[in-house]
């Protein structure tokens, strides 16, 4: 991405954050806030190893760095101060930030210890604190750590992305697309283990495992029936028909992409039947993306996705009832148990778009918002063959709505998910950040 453009967008982003924070802090009764980046957590009290830091997202909203024990000081009427603590350890040293554009926009202090933050705080001001290390708030004399009446509005602020954030999300999609393309081609070319494919993804996206926004989901065959399969099979296998589900993203300056693709290879009825399901879900997913409208409810889109899945089950012969019967009888919820999508940003499952609970029949839906300009979210319908969910359905009152012989024949292929990241630029301008680089969501290869 062009560095000059990125810097200009970041400068505008900080100005936008400054205005929003001044308004939000005043409404919450604060003069300012100190946001702590966090500290590394020990893997175990019986060990001396530490997990890589996941920086406080409110901190990264201001500064694209992920170093431990840093702070962002914002006081209404003053320029924000980034306290970027200098590393003095000779055991480990954090990686340099990918871009240091913040040096040209923020006032940056480089103390040897985060304890020096207190000396930078203005006297006589009511300052809030955001961060997990509440002991820091006590040491610095800050009030009401992680006040809900402050965090709530700041979470809602994060649901509306600035042009800088949208650019970062787009770049994260480009980065992840390279990994997805590499795995698609490797899967088509021969038999590889899940671990081999996972490592190939990291290499293609130039990420360490800890840098990915979430653990890569790389699932062959029946493992795709586990929605978050991360226990990689370490040895390749050969089957007449095989599927690959890859749910993996990338980060750029703290912002995440979240993409899923499903591929099929092989010959025979199992491969062709599963490929028809993939093709059906591919078309349904694209239609759902096209149906995104400003001022409409995301939960309504989720409910429409169940009608689309029901139609696919009916067309494939897996479902014996009408699409309406398959939805009403809970059949689609056995084949498609998760929500259609979630907000995306500094966190893979970002905040601000699930302010109200979903309907009881949609317990795993993570986006219940009214769709607004500047939101970014995923659209990710799926069809899976999950043993215990299908067993419950088979034993229930609506078992006759399913062709169980057909289901048993296709179940070893695991499942399908196709996921894109969408950014709402305006009422008639919904950008698919993923399809620009990965135009196909799933298909039969070879």
- First-to-final CA distance of the chain: 34
Query: How many Å apart are CA 268 and CA 257, to the nearest integer?
Result: 35
Domain extent for 209 = 163-444
Residues 387 and 413 placed together within one structural domain of the fold: yes
Query: Kindly report the CA angle at 437 between 431 and 438, in degrees rounded to 5?
Result: 100
Residues 73 and 20 placed together within one structural domain of the fold: yes
Q: What CATH number should be reported for the domain holding residue 65?
A: 3.40.350.10
Residues 69 and 200 placed together within one structural domain of the fold: no
Residues 146 and 212 placed together within one structural domain of the fold: no
Residues 220 and 86 placed together within one structural domain of the fold: no
Mean pLDDT per block of 10 residues along the chain (446 residues) reads 94 98 98 97 92 96 96 97 88 87 96 92 96 95 95 98 99 99 98 98 97 98 98 96 98 98 97 98 99 98 99 98 97 98 98 94 97 98 99 98 98 99 96 98 96
Residues 116 and 190 placed together within one structural domain of the fold: no
Structure tokens at 211: 């840098």
Residues 320 and 182 placed together within one structural domain of the fold: yes
Are 262 and 278 within 8 A, CB to CB? yes
Q: What CATH number should be reported for the domain holding residue 311?
A: 3.90.230.10
Residues 72 and 218 placed together within one structural domain of the fold: no
- Domain C-terminal end among 158, 176, 196: 158
Query: How many Å apart are CA 358 and CA 368, to the nearest integer?
Result: 6
- Domain C-terminal end among 97, 127, 158: 158
**Could you give the count of Cα atoms lying within 13 Å of 35 in the half-sphere of its Cβ?**
21
Residues 109 and 248 placed together within one structural domain of the fold: no
Residues 42 and 153 placed together within one structural domain of the fold: yes
Residues 115 and 167 placed together within one structural domain of the fold: no
Are 44 and 25 within 8 A, CB to CB? no
Q: What is the pLDDT of residue 395?
A: 98
Q: Say which residues have a Cβ less than 8 Å from residue 23's Cβ, sequence separation at least 6.
A: none
Q: What is the pLDDT of residue 123?
A: 94
- pTM exceeds 0.95: yes
Query: Into how many domains does the chain fold?
Result: 2
Query: How many Å apart are CA 209 and CA 321, to the nearest integer?
Result: 45
Are 335 and 374 within 8 A, CB to CB? no
Q: What percent of the chain has pLDDT over 90?
A: 94
Residues 182 and 328 placed together within one structural domain of the fold: yes
- Domain C-terminal end among 158, 190, 215: 158
Q: What is the pLDDT of residue 91?
A: 84
């Amino acid at each position: 991405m062009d560095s000059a453009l990125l810097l200009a967008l970041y400068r505008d982003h900080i100005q936008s954050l400054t205005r929003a924070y001044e308004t939000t802090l005043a409404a919450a009764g604060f003069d300012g806030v100190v946001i702590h980046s966090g500290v590394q957590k020990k893997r175990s009290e019986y060990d001396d190893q530490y997990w890589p830091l996941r920086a406080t997202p409110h901190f990264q909203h201001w500064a694209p760095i992920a170093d431990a024990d840093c702070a962002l000081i914002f006081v209404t009427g003053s320029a924000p101060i980034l306290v970027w603590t200098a590393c003095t350890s000779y055991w480990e040293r954090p990686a340099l930030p990918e871009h240091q554009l913040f040096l040209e926009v923020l006032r940056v202090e480089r103390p040897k210890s985060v304890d020096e933050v207190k000396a930078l705080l203005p006297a006589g001001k009511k300052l809030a604190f955001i961060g997990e290390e509440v002991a820091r708030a006590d040491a610095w004399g800050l009030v009401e750590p992680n006040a809900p009446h402050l965090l709530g509005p700041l979470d809602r602020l994060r649901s509306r992305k600035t042009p800088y954030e949208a650019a970062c999300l787009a770049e994260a999609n480009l980065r992840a697309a390279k990994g997805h393309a590499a795995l698609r081609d490797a899967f088509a070319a021969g038999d590889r283990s899940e671990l081999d494919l996972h490592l190939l993804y990291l290499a293609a996206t130039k990420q360490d495992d800890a840098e990915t926004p979430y653990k890569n989901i790389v699932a062959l065959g029946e493992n795709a029936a586990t929605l978050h399969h991360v226990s990689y099979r370490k040895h390749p296998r050969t089957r007449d028909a095989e599927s690959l589900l890859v749910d993996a993203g990338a980060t750029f300056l703290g912002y995440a992409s979240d993409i899923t693709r499903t591929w099929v290879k092989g010959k025979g009825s199992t491969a062709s039947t599963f490929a028809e399901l993939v093709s059906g879900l591919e078309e349904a997913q694209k239609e759902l993306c096209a149906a995104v409208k400003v001022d409409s409810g995301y939960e309504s889109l989720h409910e429409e996705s169940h009608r689309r899945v029901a139609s696919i089950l009916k067309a494939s012969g897996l479902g014996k009832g009408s699409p309406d019967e398959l939805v009403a009888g809970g059949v689609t919820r056995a084949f498609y148990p998760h929500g259609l999508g979630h907000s995306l940003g500094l966190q893979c499952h970002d905040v601000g778009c699930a302010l109200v609970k979903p309907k009881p029949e949609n317990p795993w839906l993570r986006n219940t918002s009214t769709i607004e300009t500047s939101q970014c979210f995923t659209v990710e319908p799926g069809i899976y063959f999950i043993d215990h969910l299908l067993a419950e359905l088979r034993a229930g009152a609506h078992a006759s709505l399913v062709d169980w012989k057909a289901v048993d024949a296709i179940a070893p292929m695991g499942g399908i998910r196709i996921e894109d990241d969408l950014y709402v630029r305006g009422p008639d301008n919904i950008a698919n950040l993923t399809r620009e680089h990965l135009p196909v969501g799933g298909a039969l290869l070879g």
